[in-house]
């Protein structure tokens, strides 16, 4: 005898499940887009900015995966701390050295500090946080 539940039952049983699943799907798509920007497009200021923006979106979505019921402002704050922390960590030179030994590390930690990256992270997370807050308030109002 099997035990099955429909999606509505799962959603009621675990608040945040739908949000977590959506965040996971969007995170996979965001990482895919980031890998395309990194590997398939020519290196330029535009692709650097696009990569930084996608990194910030990925950080936001990763926080949603961990804490799906957290308010948008909290999620944005945590994602911002991560992005700024990683960028400042680049000042130590460790991410560059680690990336030379293990290139995939560069995708997570970057290589060298760039002030423009901070600006892109802050702007992107501000937009994503505002968008998330609006969508969540409209979703709640529709219920």
- CB under 8 Å to 98, separation ≥6 — which residues? 105, 109
3-state secondary structure of 96: helix
Residue-wise pLDDT for 17-30, tens only, equals 999 999 999 999 99
Task: Give residue for tokens 């995939």.
Answer: 104
Condensed to tens digits (0 to 9), the pLDDT of residues 42-88 reads: 999 999 999 999 999 999 999 999 999 999 999 999 999 999 999 99
């Amino acid at each position: 005898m099997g035990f099955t539940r429909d999606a509505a039952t799962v959603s009621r049983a675990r608040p945040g499940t739908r949000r977590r699943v959506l965040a996971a799907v969007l995170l996979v798509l965001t990482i895919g887009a980031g890998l395309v920007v990194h590997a398939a497009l020519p290196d330029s200021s535009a692709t650097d900015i696009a990569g930084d923006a996608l990194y910030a979106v990925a950080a936001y979505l990763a926080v949603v995966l961990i804490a799906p019921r957290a308010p948008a402002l909290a999620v944005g704050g945590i994602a911002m701390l991560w992005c700024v922390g990683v960028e400042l960590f680049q000042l130590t030179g460790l991410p560059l050295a680690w990336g030379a030994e293990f290139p995939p590390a560069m995708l997570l930690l970057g290589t060298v500090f760039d002030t423009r990256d901070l600006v892109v992270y802050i702007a992107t997370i501000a937009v994503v946080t505002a968008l998330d807050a609006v969508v969540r308030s409209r979703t709640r109002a529709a219920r």
